[in-house]
Chains A and B, each alone.
Chain A
């Protein structure tokens, strides 16, 4: 009898225990250990680690985050994928590498591609950047689009408003066109007052080409010819020396003259320092500028950080007709600079279900929303909810700053005319050529046209070297265009 009682008690305890486990682990991934890899932290790696902690508590699984220096990350991932090795269950990577990875990635499970959380991801990500040849192969875990930042106090100063209108004939306000952007920079370029017009990255190896792309997108991203900013999507001929690019480069060079001295040595870090240090009246760049500018610990302009979408143009180069098309309104073109880190599950992973569940948790509105407002995670808004939850952002912004910042971020990813960044096999070979010629043009050693002619010639050579048909197929897929 005693034995029977003991057995019954044990069974009851076990049953309760398993019920308890079921309650604690949802879904239950006890004994499952995922290996996730990304670049050395804090940026992005800390977001993976923060989410790993929450996911482990929720599912009883384990996540090991393996970090590699930026220069090592690509070869580590690509060699593990191409060798068919089951080294990583989750990879977090730069979108430019997608063309080399997509053949080896598993498709996102169908149940993750529906519901409110899925619809909440900004369309440009879920319909374009996460999709490759019609398949969703990755999940955006960071949003990256350029926006515009300005000093509210300077713009709303009555003397400035009056003097600006007298000089340029229109009201001082966040610019609608790139010409206005340069007018404003010119007006505020007052070195004697320790104030300069604008700040952008101009340093070779310092993210400079993304800033040029933002200027160029306004003149080359034609609403009727999607995906033709960098290459002719029919022939893969480089478009980089067409008049739209030349105008973009001329204005980018002009901006460098209206920036603090030695701005040619600015990478994005210096842009943020110049803006937060109150040295410039305006700047363009990623969302970090606004967040750093609004932080009183790091900024002299906290409380005065205004934000807006990138300027646009009412003239856009048409590569088909080889003419400028004039519009009766300003076409605001958003540029997805870099495009935001992607998380994906290799097809070789034996724990795909758990891995996708971890990515779902990592990118859920609550977890990713917290990461977006946590300094050092490197996560910028990519969900609509990230840009509408003013309460969340009120921790770092004033009400007006938050409203403008979120408005700009939202418009950047939902604009009618969005230019996608270049994503091609051999991406760094293309951008290195551009960086070198760009630096020469910025230093005045060659004209913008000469610099871009040289880039076009070298880009075409690279395309031939890598295989024109292969590159064309990858380019069309990266731009969301159907294969020919």
Chain B
């Protein structure tokens, strides 16, 4: 069989069509639904409303509030994950004694299901039976409203996110660090470069491509946060810790407002895409520079 043999179409097209059907059809169906007024509860016949759902959403203060909350959680937690993750990865890369044990134990939180992590966190932060507040009481401090006051609740969710996902950042950055060539460092040492100079001018720039990818992946994942929030605060108090995905869940699975939920999903997709494009555009010059 040569490269131009028409038989290739016989093998390629069915697979391509199946993939397209599986991946594109739900998207097209969901996009169509987003232009309809469609409710399962109370059952109402589908009606074309054009951009009505999108306009309603953009005029809904709750949408902007949850988008803001999600952005806050995503940016702060990913920022912390990167800083802590890079520090730990650098430490582990220095061949410290017992590095193997550290590596395994640091990875454990990432392997636990987010719902289980959130349940553990809820227990740890429990005001009467939780070890954290028991310690506070023993030290003479008052109990803290970890999950019931907006700022504390947001802080608790961010802390849990950081605890669970920093290992992922460590894993990726450590892999990146281990691929850096030794001869560059040897040359820098000959030039009497300090460890800080080596980090600033060699390690960090050379790690930039993988850093960009890791932060990008974590940002997208953080924007999808639902399980931790659902279990820890249920989005409360009020809607102060509600995230975009939890909002979509409430609309879709509690109110069965399918048209509105589809529009919300597409707005969510647009938000993520815009953030991704802006992020890559901002970092592009740096990536080009250190290519």
Please, which residues of chain A bring their CB within 8 A of the CB of B233?
Answer: 265
Please, which residues of chain B bring their CB within 8 A of the CB of A71?
Answer: 253-254
Q: Quick check: B42 and A204 within 8 Å, CB to CB? A: no
Interface residues of A in 275-294 (CB under 8 A from B): 279
- Beyond contacts A71-B254, A205-B236, A439-B236: 14 other A-B pairs, Cβ-Cβ < 8 A, are A74-B40, A78-B43, A79-B40, A82-B43, A203-B234, A203-B236, A260-B128, A428-B41, A428-B254, A429-B41, A432-B250, A436-B238, A445-B238, A466-B42
Q: Binary interface profile of B, 99-133, with partner A (CB < 8 Å = 1, else 0)?
A: 00000000000000000000000100011100001
Stretch of B145-153, B158-166, B192-200, B216-224 on the interface side: B145-153
Q: What are 20 inter-chain pairs, A to B, with CB distance below 8 A?
A: A75-B256, A78-B41, A99-B42, A204-B234, A204-B237, A205-B234, A261-B133, A262-B128, A262-B145, A264-B148, A265-B148, A426-B42, A427-B41, A429-B257, A436-B238, A439-B236, A439-B239, A440-B238, A443-B236, A466-B42
Please, which residues of chain A bring their CB within 8 A of the CB of B41?
Answer: 74, 78, 100, 425-429
Please, which residues of chain A bring their CB within 8 A of the CB of B42?
Answer: 99-100, 425-426, 466, 470
Shortest CB-to-CB span from B180 to chain A, Å, is: 46
Q: Quick check: A204 and B236 within 8 Å, CB to CB? A: yes
In the assembly, what is the distance between CA of A337 and CA of B197, in Å?
68
Q: Quick check: B237 and A442 within 8 Å, CB to CB? A: yes
Interface residues of A in 66-115 (CB under 8 A from B): 71, 74-75, 78-79, 82, 99-100
Shortest CB-to-CB span from A419 to chain B, Å, is: 23
CB within 8 Å for A262 and B126 given contacts A75-B40, A432-B254: yes
Interface of A is mostly: helix
Please, which residues of chain A bring their CB within 8 A of the CB of B128?
Answer: 194, 260-262, 279
- The 9 A-B residue pairs with the shortest CB-CB distance in the complex, in nearest-first order: A425-B42, A262-B127, A443-B237, A261-B127, A264-B148, A204-B236, A205-B234, A440-B238, A71-B253
Interface residues of B in 15-54 (CB under 8 A from A): 39-44
Is the C-beta of A206 less than 8 angstroms from some C-beta in chain B? yes
A202's nearest neighbour on chain B, judged by CB, is B148
Is the C-beta of B71 less than 8 angstroms from some C-beta in chain A? no
Q: Quick check: A261 and B255 within 8 Å, CB to CB? A: no
Other-chain residue from B126, B149, B234, B254 in contact with A443 (beta carbon distance below 8 A):
B149
In the assembly, what is the distance between CA of A260 and CA of B130, in Å?
13
Q: Quick check: A443 and B150 within 8 Å, CB to CB? A: yes
B236's nearest neighbour on chain A, judged by CB, is A204
In the assembly, what is the distance between CA of A445 and CA of B240, in Å?
11
Most chain-A Cβ atoms within 10 A of its Cβ — which of B133, B150, B253? B253
In the assembly, what is the distance between CA of A74 and CA of B126, in Å?
33
Please, which residues of chain A bring their CB within 8 A of the CB of B126?
Answer: 262
Q: Quick check: B238 and A100 within 8 Å, CB to CB? A: no
In the assembly, what is the distance between CA of A301 and CA of B235, in Å?
33
Q: Binary interface profile of A, 417-435, with partner B (CB < 8 Å = 1, else 0)?
A: 0000000011111001000
Please, which residues of chain A bring their CB within 8 A of the CB of B39?
Answer: 426
Please, which residues of chain A bring their CB within 8 A of the CB of B253?
Answer: 71
In the assembly, what is the distance between CA of A427 and CA of B39, in Å?
13
In the assembly, what is the distance between CA of A262 and CA of B134, in Å?
13
In the assembly, what is the distance between CA of A75 and CA of B148, in Å?
32
Interface residues of A in 192-214 (CB under 8 A from B): 194, 203-206
Shortest CB-to-CB span from B121 to chain A, Å, is: 12
Shortest CB-to-CB span from A476 to chain B, Å, is: 16
Q: Quick check: B239 and A436 within 8 Å, CB to CB? A: yes
A270's nearest neighbour on chain B, judged by CB, is B126
Please, which residues of chain A bring their CB within 8 A of the CB of B236?
Answer: 203-205, 264, 439, 443
